[in-house]
Amino acid sequence: MAENVGLPQENLYLDPVMACRPDPSSWYLGSGLPDIDTILDSIHLIGELTANRLKTILAISNSSVCLATGKRSAFHCHFLPMLHDAGLNAVIMNCHDKRLMAVAEELAIKLAA
């Protein structure tokens, strides 16, 4: 449909919706965190099904609004490499988080090699 108006698929970024789970049982079992496997599978499938023509972008902080402020950075530092491995093309993240920026820099170095 985008190509019908002159926008090639290669210029599109999809944002797989990620939010904390609202139901009480998930809060008890997983602190309300999103279903990470589903998010990772979705990112991988978008790339696979479109031969990497459609790209993905994600705001990593949406994954952790349910966590205490002190735990968010650690979660993001563990989650970012998983998103990268799933094929995420772009991320919106807190550039003031030095630990997260170090993880992002390590991933960028691996990509460049």
Total domains in the fold of the chain: 1
User: Would you say the pTM of this structure is higher than 0.85?
Assistant: no
Alpha-carbon dihedral sign for residues 54, 60, 66, 71: positive
Contact predicate 36/59, CB 8 Å: no
Percent of the chain with pLDDT over 90: 49
Q: Which of 2-6, 13-17, 45-49 has the highest mean predicted lDDT (pLDDT)? A: 45-49
- Over residues 41-59, the pLDDT tens digits come to 999 999 999 998 899 999 9
Percent of the chain with pLDDT over 70: 85
Comparing C-alpha atoms, which of 90, 92, 95, 96 is closest to residue 108? 90
How many CB atoms sit inside 10 A of residue 88's CB?
22
CATH number of the domain that 97 lies in? 3.20.20.20
Residue 30 above 80 pLDDT? no
Residue 103 above 90 pLDDT? yes
Q: Note down the domain range covering 101.
A: 2-112
3 state SS of 17: coil
Mean pLDDT of 56-84: 89
